[in-house]
Amino acid sequence: MKIVVLNGSPKGDISVTMQYVAFIRKKFPEHRYEILNVAHDIRKLEKDTEAWNKTIESIRSADMVLWAFPLYYLVVSSQYKRFIELIFERKAQDACAGTYAASLSTSIHFFDQIAHAYIHAVSDDLGMKYLGFYSAEMRDLLSDEERKRLEKFASLLITAVQEKVPVQRENAPLVWPAHTYVPGKEQKSPGTGTKKVVILTDSDGSSPNLAAMTDRLLKNFSGSSEMINLHDVNIKGGCLGCCQCGYDNTCVYTDGYADFFKNKLVPADIIIMAGSVHDRYLSSAWKQFFDRSFFLGHTPALEGRQIGFVIAGPLGQIPSLKEALAAWADNGGCHAQFVTDEVSGSGELDALLDAMAARLVRCAEAGYIPPRTFYAIGGHKVFRDSIYGGLRIAFQADYRYYREHGMFDFPQGDLKTRLFNAVLIPLMRIPGFRKKVFADMKHHMTAPFGQVLRNA
Ligand SMILES: Cc1cc2nc3c(=O)[nH]c(=O)nc-3n(C[C@H](O)[C@H](O)[C@H](O)COP(=O)(O)O)c2cc1C
């Protein structure tokens, strides 16, 4: 059997993910493997037709394609994203159609399920027969138990391909909003007061609705507001995953990204992020924007900002994309709102955009950020533990930030709860005491709020 591995790591062969592929290769040497470093070689694949054709012919000859990639900002790297875009742009879907596919990722499990949902949906759109995913924590291969698990996964995968098992498509084809947005003339601008607004778009003329939506929004913000096109920012390339920024937040790139982020986005109170759907995500330009913000590590660099996502395309049919954006905002301590062009007519979209603009200003003036949800609560614990532990050497800037901002909030440090537990847990072993506590559980749970409510 021929297994073509599409390597999504910008690092190429010397990547954590490729160690997992090497392990599979060693355990199943009877198969032929071809590893294509499509993320590392993305510039070449964009420019060199021969290299592109060779890659596509390799995919065409595969019995199975393994999407093998590191997680980058809840999805895949911008370079990998660009490769996927190229398959559609250059109409090479036929090289993938009918072939079995599976995905393998390495990460620290921060939203790994979203990345695999993305690859699953892309595989469905390419007409591939997607068999499932394996999501490894980056150090799993060091554990005997996890090696056995990976071996079982690969064995089951190979058997499924050999037996030509039938596979059901899970993601229905996307249906784009048919309506062309023509903004109305009447508009009551809320102004921005003292708040600073930045509209960030990747508009390249291919989505008239996107351009019309951002124009309408810009008129809404009559105060301090600016529209910036990501294509006009001097960004030389996607994150290379070198992690050198982890030491002191200095990126190895010397382009305009870091200055743009610090001077344009950080001072803003309200940031509109406007883009259109490309395959099952936004564009690779947007992905590049998110990936490059890694120079600030795992710190909430835009904490407290109001974020308005303005999306052209079928966002409502891609729950994993909406979740990725909402989770990114929540995890960063922001407040996210969404408007898309999935509407019945221009009047409705006018009203939605105007209402969002007004709400963003109102929330910014009130300083309102909603309580964090599981995205941020869970995400914080994953980052906190990693930065305190295994990632600390590489991410010393994060470590300093977490320490200075009290973010190493392990429960072991909560002395009051520890004392309470130390006294009450032994008492709970006494049947009579336990019976009394459980009989009055509702009151025990609500008692601490009594004083707050009396004083409110
Ligand atoms: C820019 C960047 C973004 C990342 N984003 C995530 C993420 O969202 N979730 C996660 O669990 N790990 C994330 N990681 C960690 C990598 O997925 C992990 O280190 C991976 O094993 C690297 O694999 P590689 O050496 O094959 O590139 C990120 C790393 C980088 C450099």
Domain extents in the chain: 2-162, 196-366, 374-404, 412-445
Q: Which CATH architecture fits 196-366?
A: 3-Layer(aba) Sandwich (3.40)
Is the minimum distance from the CB of 386 to ligand 1 under 6 angstroms? no
Are 23 and 62 in contact by the 8 Å Cβ rule? The answer is no
**Per the CATH hierarchy, to which homologous superfamily does domain 2-162 belong?**
Flavodoxin domain (3.40.50.360)
Query: How many residues appear in the chain?
Result: 456
Q: Is residue 297 lining ligand 1, measured as CB closer than 6 Å?
A: no
User: What is the Å distance from ligand 1's center to 444 Cα?
Assistant: 44
Which residue has its alpha carbon closest to ligand 1 atom 3? 72
Ligand 1 centroid from CA 411, angstroms: 27
Longest dimension (CA), the chain: 80
Q: In 126-162, where does DSSP find H-type helix?
A: 144-162
Q: How far apart are CA 180 and CA 199, in angstroms?
A: 21
pLDDT of residue 186: 81
Determine which helix (DSSP H) or strand (DSSP E) holds 218, and give its type and residue range.
helix 208-220
Is the fold of 2-162 the same as that of 196-366? yes
CA dist 326 and 372 (Å) reads: 11
Q: Whose CA is nearest to atom 22 of ligand 1?
A: 70
DSSP-assigned letter for residue 261? I
If one residue of 81, 107, 135 were mutated to test the ligand 1 pocket, choosing by the most ligand atoms within 8 A of its CB, it would be: 107
Closest C-alpha among 249, 243, 325, 344 to residue 287: 325
Query: Residue 220: its pLDDT value, please?
Result: 87
Mean pLDDT by 10 residues, the chain (456 residues): 98 98 98 98 98 98 98 98 98 98 98 98 98 98 98 98 98 96 86 90 96 94 90 98 97 98 97 98 98 97 98 98 98 98 97 96 97 97 97 97 97 95 97 97 95 95
Ligand 1 atom closest to residue 138's alpha carbon, by position in its atom list:
21
Task: Name 4's bridge partners.
Answer: 34, 65
pLDDT of residue 257: 98
- The pTM for the full model equals 0.97
pLDDT for res 208: 96
Comparing CA positions, the residue from 256, 192, 197 lying closest to residue 230 is 256
- 7, 9, 35, 72, best to mutate for ligand 1 pocket (most atoms within 8 Å of CB): 72
The residue nearest atom 28 of ligand 1, judged by CA position, is 72
User: Ligand 1 in contact with 15 (CB < 6 A)?
Assistant: yes
Q: Which atom of ligand 1 has the smallest separation from the CA of 10? A: 27
Read off φ and ψ for residue 147, nearest 5 degrees: -65, -40
Ligand 1: centre distance to CA 256 (Å): 23
Beta bridge partners of 75: 72
DSSP state of 412: G
Q: Which atom of ligand 1 has the smallest separation from the CA of 110?
A: 11
Q: What separation in Å is there between the alpha carbon of 173 and the centre of ligand 1? A: 29
Residue at token pair 């008129």: 219
